[in-house]
Structure 1
Amino acid sequence: MEPTILSDAATAPVQVSRRTAAVEAFEDIVYGSVAGIVGKYIEYPFDTVKVRLQSQPDHRPLQYKGPLDCFRQSIRADGFLGLYRGISAPLVGAALENSSLFFWERIGRAAIYASGYAPREQPLPLSALWMTGAFSGAMTSFILTPVELVKCKIQVPGKGEAGAPTAHLKPIPVIRDIFRHQGLRGFWHGQLGTFLRESGGCAAWFGSKETVTKFFRDWNDRRAAASGIPNPIKDDDPLPLWQQAIAGASAGMSYNFLFFPADTVKSRMQTTPIGELASGAMPQRTFAGEAAALWKQAGITGFYRGCGITVLRSVPSSAFIFMVYDGLKKYLPMQ
């Protein structure tokens, strides 16, 4: 039995189905988690470099000249596996993030249909799909901020009194440290940056993917009509793998590039050592205060440190996330 709303055929009419909303929600959670974990393993070394480039403090000389220099210094200091430092928390975060994104995106679609904006027997327009992506990202940001806070503090090694790197941090001690110094509220430090990045970025993530998917479906139809041969790819069939990959890759690049400055400010906020905040050695800046300090230090280019490598790693990561998710939804539907 096919799902009520097909991810790879969002612009196709909704299929009438006896499957319950609970089953579809469970699919979103399980398959979104699997897809997120696959994507995280692909992108994590690049994400580590990105966070280290973003979080260079404004009151010290820059430690890294660029992505390649950061890779060299990181591998020299910790080996290649050091780039996977702290991946346990991000794996949990990736599972939570992607399952939440697909779950809330489906809820957003259902809400738009329920509002009467579009008849249920017709596909949603692309403008509505960009809106459901923004809604999904906004809701997910509240789940994601604590996970990213822990991840960022593990990825960026702190400095001791003599300037030497401190011991490698682990998730549980970091969680305890945050709670001891800042309480429960401290886990949402940097929430505004996550909210801006996720709501805007996920509008682009889902919207770009569906826009490119629609382009390929129309293109396949035109090619079939020109050749006089019926198009073998139906509306509820997945696209060829190379077309799925391009659609997913375009989604990742759009997500990461358009709202990268918000992510940079968030990373700087979240990598400030807790001890320095607690002792008053460093002020706990607001989002606007951190952005102003970065502008004063480096101007507009400071907001895009690590952007190139982030967009590059999003190509395979996002492509695999959508391919795995759509493939599981299509070929392993839960009854």
Structure 2
Amino acid sequence: MQSDTKEIKSLPMDYRENAKDLAAGAAGGVAQVLIGQPFDIVKVRLQTQFGGSALTAARNIYAQEGARSFYKGTLVPLLGVGACVSIQFGAFHGFRQLIESYNYRNGHTKDPGLSLPQFYLAGGAAGVTNSLISGPVEHIRIRLQTQPHGDAQLYSGPWDCARKIIRLEGPAGLYRGQVVTLLREFHGYGVWFAAYEGLLGFLQHHEQKKREELPNWQIAICGGLAGEALWLLSHPLDVIKSKMQSDGFGPNQKYHNMRHAFKETWVTGGIRGLFQGLGPALLRAMPVSAGTFATVELVRKLLV
């Protein structure tokens, strides 16, 4: 006897695609660091040391610390960001599949694809997953980027920095500013993935092409514009994160929590204080995000 109950179906999880996204994300993360690190150190200096312009900060770094200093603290992000971007893309694909399966079960069998809000949700969830690694990685990177130069140098390298943080505040000290990091990662990567997928969808519809048929330069432009959207809409959270993660320890600690950091930044700098360093962040976003997505899509095509 046939059951009247409608059979609940779901789309199968594609683990091969997940593996491809992890590998492609790792390659994209390496490209992201190599392209973006010089811009990033200027941004962090502006966020944590008041006054001046991006050009002045870049000139000062070059004059006082040399050209190699634009890649100060690169080892940790090179390893860590490769892992982070790998996790971002792998997690994004996993959450995307879960939402597609949800759409399929709820009757969207013709097109179980994601809407823009759903892309935002999948990207935000991927960002939260990634924050478990990105929090400590960025904390160490920021301390290396903002420490004094020469004899006054505080840390000999990333491992020395991590050891000293743990000695002063315990393992939890590596996660300083984690609440604002979670907020930035959820919102920022929600915007990033939604903008990218939305732009790609527009191009596919406009040119009547499949995703894999789009030329690399169009992929790069979509990725670059998505990067601009990410930083425009999440920069104040990044400023607060940088301030908290470059703050002192013990009696030298200026910010007690995220709310206190927001309040102090508003009192001293107003709305402009929350957007300090936006210029180099936007300059960095276009090539870095373009390079990341172009590399990811290229590697995914190669991993057939």
Corresponding residue of 1:286? 257
The question of whether the paired residues in 2 share the 8 Å contact of 1:118 and 1:124 is answered with no
Residue 213, structure 1, aligned to residue 188, structure 2: no
How far apart are the structure 2 equivalents of 1:102 and 1:29?
6
How far apart are the structure 2 equivalents of 1:283 and 1:305?
18
What do residues 67-91 of structure 1 show as CA deviations (whole Å, max 9, x unaligned)? 0010010000111111101100011
Corresponding residue of 1:241? 216
Q: Which has the higher helix share?
A: 2
Shift of 1:118: 6.4
Shift of 1:47: 0.2
What do residues 185-233 of structure 1 show as CA deviations (whole Å, max 9, x unaligned)? 1111011121111111111100111111111112213xxxxxxxxxxx3
Judged with a 3 Å threshold, the aligned counterparts in structure 2 of structure 1 residues 244 and 167 are, in CA distance, closer, same or farther, namely: same
How far apart are the structure 2 equivalents of 1:49 and 1:197?
20
How far apart are the structure 1 equivalents of 2:32 and 2:254?
35
Q: Residue 182 of structure 2: which of 195, 204, 207 is its match?
A: 195
The question of whether the paired residues in 2 share the 8 Å contact of 1:261 and 1:304 is answered with yes
Shift of 1:96: 1.6
The question of whether the paired residues in 1 share the 8 Å contact of 2:187 and 2:234 is answered with yes
Shift of 1:140: 1.2
Judged with a 3 Å threshold, the aligned counterparts in structure 2 of structure 1 residues 188 and 118 are, in CA distance, closer, same or farther, namely: farther
How far apart are the structure 1 equivalents of 2:180 and 2:107?
32
TM-score by length of 2: 0.90
Corresponding residue of 1:304? 275
% of aligned pairs identical? 29
Give secondary structure in 1 for the equivalent of 2:256.
coil
What do residues 4-49 of structure 1 show as CA deviations (whole Å, max 9, x unaligned)? xxxxxxxxxxxx99xx744333222221011110111001000000
Corresponding residue of 2:141? 151
Residue 127, structure 1, aligned to residue 98, structure 2: no
The question of whether the paired residues in 2 share the 8 Å contact of 1:249 and 1:316 is answered with yes
How far apart are the structure 2 equivalents of 1:107 and 1:117?
19
The farther-off stretch of 78-87 and 122-131 is: 122-131
Residues 82-231 of structure 1 mapped to structure 2, 5 A cutoff:
82-115=69-102, 116-117=105-106, 119=108, 122=111, 123-158=113-148, 165-166=152-153, 169-221=156-208
The farther-off stretch of 283-292 and 77-86 is: 283-292
Give secondary structure in 1 for the equivalent of 2:213.
coil
Q: Which amino acid aligns with 1:217?
A: Q
Q: Residue 259 of structure 1: which of 234, 240, 249 is its match?
A: 234
Judged with a 3 Å threshold, the aligned counterparts in structure 2 of structure 1 residues 236 and 49 are, in CA distance, closer, same or farther, namely: closer
Q: Which amino acid aligns with 1:304?
A: F
TM-score by length of 1: 0.82
The question of whether the paired residues in 1 share the 8 Å contact of 2:188 and 2:233 is answered with yes
Give secondary structure in 2 for the equivalent of 1:94.
helix
Q: Which amino acid aligns with 1:251?
A: A
How far apart are the structure 2 equivalents of 1:47 and 1:296?
25
The question of whether the paired residues in 2 share the 8 Å contact of 1:112 and 1:118 is answered with no
